[in-house]
Amino acid sequence: MTEADLSVDLAGIALKNPLVLASGTAGYGLEMASLIDVSRLGAIILKSVTEEPCSGNAEPRIWETTGGLLNSIGLENIGMDALAQEVLPRLSDLGVPLFASIAGETVRAFARLAARLESAGVLSALEVNISCPNVEKGGMQFGSDTGATTAVVMAVHENTGLPLFAKLSAAHAEIARIAEAAAQAGAAGLSLINTIPGMAIDPATRRPRLGAISGGLSGPAIKPIALKAVWDCYSATGLPIIGGGGIFDEYDVVEFMLAGATAVSVGTSTFQDPDRPLEILEGLPVALERAGASSPRELVGAMKI
Amino acid sequence: MAEAPSATKGILCTGTLLDREEVAGGIHLLEFSLRALQGVLPLMPRPGQFYQVKCGDGPEHMLRRPLSAHGTDGTDDEVRIQFLVEVVGWGTGRLCTLEPGESVSLLGPLGNGFAIGKGDGKNLLVAGGIGIAPLYFLAREMEKSSIKYDMLAGFKSGDRYYRPLDDLSGGVEVYTEDGTAGELGVVSAAVPGYLERGYDAVYTCGPEAMMLSVAEKCDGAVVTCQVSLDSRMACGIGVCRGCVKEGTGGRRLCICTDGPVFDSHEVLWRDGTSASISNNI
């Protein structure tokens, strides 16, 4: 069988296919690489990193819901210096474009993160996480305000030559306005969507299921929300979009691309099957054909209305 | 204490169910035959290691369930794994309706497993409820190596009593909370009396409050205590940080890759009221 050309151009970054491992569910890529051939993927977005190491939230941190997963990890990570010095050099052999995801508590912290990580030399792009629901400082408070979004994206843009993707939250009705602000401030693209704030309670003990009381919901349950966010932001900005939220199979990929995504991120589904992204990749040519397309590129934003 | 084994990198493989039997009330013994997906024969598990078991194919349930290995044997071209599964929710319920010939995806063996002391030492195994699953496996492995052990096993009631315990060659004493089998009482209460007889190591698995109680009694008797922690898990391979628990000395214990077995002194215990974390999986 000849391999179909599934390549896409994501804001000038050549991806061999649109399938990207989402931030947070693939760690720093090395563990996944011991289970699946990650070189077959379009890209990997590394777990969000902060300036200093971060120990995250109290346990329990995860709770399964119908069609979804609540998490309150709280950005536990090794910090930017350890990532840049100890981990990134080991990732260059993975044979796949790497995006770092940065999460600062302040505008200046975002700028320092961008500069520090770019200097490591192995990254293709940065995802600017201004939408994590699980941290008190930074996180969603940046991404819920056009002014703060502008400030963060400009600061990162001025401190790196890497293309940057603003990761936004669909928990705000005005996500398209936030996306416009990111575009005007220099974002090369958007990454949509982060988890949606949510919670669960144990009726027997009356206690929250998560140690942090609330968390972020991911998985198939949030797919319709993610699709609308992609469509709204694509319509408003035309920026290249990494779309994700509940992608489970190759037909979900087609839906996200029709809504305006150029690439798609698979996260929670990798918990059910670590090789799900590769299964999706194998099924994608047939899904494209059924959608009447001969390449992924034809589908981007091609929803008929 | 014997040197702790390090975690293995599990592989994805397909397990075909050979047999399933309800061996106690709501508790099923499942035996799978494993073949690798890419021609690599899976490792055989050590006692205390676990598998991430996929319970369904649809988008309704995204997480695998972490299950301790209960036993293993194998040949040059097949690995057999046993699991002892208590029906407590959707995932375990689904596993306990599988019929022979059906297959599930397994990721494992994962985690470190128990550090088994060598030589003439005498070991005490203390199990609470479904915590018997890895400790029965440990007892069987100790028998193979002619290591001496005794086991204390606690159950809610006699209908949960796990009959294969009768076949162990070590000393086994059973406790039930309602007295319907063995002695009346909780298993941890029997530990001090046993420790007076002189043991070199204690291994425990069960509800967290029970393990804390056992660990405290071991401290009093200056005996090392290995505890096998339970947690909800998403990835099972250390990437998602979902099963991280605060440890002593500011350490963060990632249960799936640093554990699930820890020296009791590594664990920062919560107070008893919030201790049981193995509900509704």
Are residues A219 and B62, on separate chains, in Cβ contact within 8 Å? yes
Q: Please report, rounded to a whole number, the percentage of residues in chain A having pLDDT higher than 70.
A: 96
The band of B274, judged by pLDDT with boundaries at 50, 70 and 90, is very low
CA distances from A160 to A50, B114, B188 (A): 16, 48, 59
Residue A54 catalytic?
A: no
**Rounded distance between C-alpha atoms, residue B211 and residue B272, angstroms:** 10
Chain A residue with minimal CA distance to B278? A60
Most distant pair of Cα atoms in chain B: their distance? 53
Q: Which of A98, A109, A262 is nearest to A191 (CA)?
A: A262
Are residues B63 and A272, on separate chains, in Cβ contact within 8 Å? yes
CA distances from B163 to A221, B37, B68 (A): 42, 35, 19
Per the listing, tokens 């030559």 go with A161
Active-site residue (options: A132, A154, A241, A288): A132
Considering CB atoms only, which of A55, A62, A66 is closest to B234? A62
Considering CB atoms only, which of B63, B238, B241 is closest to A271? B63
Q: Going edge to edge, which strands form the sheet with A68-71?
A: A62-65, A68-71, A214-218, A196-199
> In the predicted model, is pLDDT for residue A1 greater than 60?
no
The answer as to whether B206 is a domain residue is yes
The answer as to whether B281 is a domain residue is no
**Tens-digit pLDDT profile for residues A136-186:** 666 677 777 899 999 999 999 999 999 999 999 999 888 999 999 999 999
Predicted pLDDT of residue B4: 66
For testing contact with chain B, the best of A66, A101, A213, A272 (most B CBs within 10 A): A272
**Tens-digit pLDDT profile for residues A6-43:** 999 999 999 999 999 999 999 999 989 999 999 999 99
Q: Write the CB contacts of B230 (distance below 8 Å, at least 6 apart in sequence).
A: B66, B208, B255, B260, B277, B278
> In the predicted model, is pLDDT for residue A260 greater than 70?
yes
A35 within 8 A of A41, measured Cβ to Cβ: no
- The highest-level CATH class for domain A8-299 is alpha beta
Q: Could you tell me if B215 and B240 lie in one domain?
A: no
Q: Could you tell me if B94 and B144 lie in one domain?
A: no
Residue B139's φ and ψ, nearest 5 degrees, are: -60, -45
> In the predicted model, is pLDDT for residue A2 greater than 60?
no
Q: Which structural domain range is residue B234 located in?
A: 230-273
CATH number at B269 reads 2.10.240.10
The answer as to whether B17 is a domain residue is yes
- In this structure, the strands spanning A241-244 and A214-218 are unpaired
Chain A to chain B, count of Cβ pairs less than 8 Å apart? Answer: 102
The answer as to whether B27 is a domain residue is yes
- In this structure, the strands spanning B148-155 and B171-176 are parallel
Burial class (CB in 10 A: 0-12, 13-18, 19+), B253: buried
Predicted pLDDT of residue B38: 65
Predicted pLDDT of residue A83: 96
Q: Which of A13, A50, A25 is nearest to A124 (CA)?
A: A13
Chain A residue with minimal CA distance to B230? A60
B90 within 8 A of B157, measured Cβ to Cβ: no
The band of B279, judged by pLDDT with boundaries at 50, 70 and 90, is very low
Mean pLDDT of chain B: 89
**Tens-digit pLDDT profile for residues B33-88:** 997 666 678 889 999 999 999 998 899 999 999 999 999 998 878 899 999 999 99
Q: Could you tell me if B67 and B118 lie in one domain?
A: no
Q: Could you tell me if B175 and B193 lie in one domain?
A: yes
Residue A257, helix vs strand vs coil: helix
Predicted pLDDT of residue A131: 84
The answer as to whether B280 is a domain residue is no
Predicted pLDDT of residue B36: 63
Considering CB atoms only, which of A56, A60, A68 is closest to B232? A60
**Rounded distance between C-alpha atoms, residue A105 and residue A247, angstroms:** 29
Lowest mean pLDDT among A53-57, A272-276, B37-41, B161-165: B37-41
> In the predicted model, is pLDDT for residue B271 greater than 70?
no
Handedness of CA B61, A71, B276, B263 (dihedral sign): positive
B84 within 8 A of B130, measured Cβ to Cβ: yes
Q: Could you tell me if B140 and B105 lie in one domain?
A: no
Q: Could you tell me if B262 and B221 lie in one domain?
A: no
**Nearest-neighbour CA in chain B from A174: distance (Å):** 29
Give me the residue spans of the domains in chain A.
8-299
> In the predicted model, is pLDDT for residue B5 greater than 80?
no
CA distances from B165 to B24, B133, B137, B160, B228 (A): 12, 11, 11, 12, 19
For testing contact with chain A, the best of B9, B240, B273 (most A CBs within 10 A): B240
Number of domains in chain B: 3
The answer as to whether B238 is a domain residue is yes
Q: Could you tell me if B88 and B151 lie in one domain?
A: no
**Rounded distance between C-alpha atoms, residue B261 and residue B137, angstroms:** 14
The band of B2, judged by pLDDT with boundaries at 50, 70 and 90, is low
Q: Please report, rounded to a whole number, the percentage of residues in chain B having pLDDT higher than 90.
A: 73
A270 contact residues in B (CB cutoff 8 A):
235
**Rounded distance between C-alpha atoms, residue A135 and residue A146, angstroms:** 19
CATH number at B130 reads 3.40.50.80
Chain A residue with minimal CA distance to B12? A35
Mean pLDDT of chain A: 94
The answer as to whether B217 is a domain residue is yes
**Tens-digit pLDDT profile for residues A222-238:** 999 999 999 999 999 99
Predicted pLDDT of residue A144: 79
Are residues B234 and A271, on separate chains, in Cβ contact within 8 Å? yes
The band of B30, judged by pLDDT with boundaries at 50, 70 and 90, is very high
Q: Could you tell me if B43 and B144 lie in one domain?
A: no
B107 contact residues in A (CB cutoff 8 A):
35, 274
**Tens-digit pLDDT profile for residues B154-197:** 999 988 888 898 999 999 999 999 999 988 999 999 999 999 99
Which comes out higher in pLDDT, residue B11 or B175?
A: B175
**Rounded distance between C-alpha atoms, residue A14 and residue A267, angstroms:** 21
Chain A residue with minimal CA distance to B239? A27
Predicted pLDDT of residue B168: 92
The residue out of B61, B90, B110 marking a domain boundary is B110
Q: Could you tell me if B223 and B234 lie in one domain?
A: no
The band of B269, judged by pLDDT with boundaries at 50, 70 and 90, is confident
> In the predicted model, is pLDDT for residue A107 greater than 50?
yes
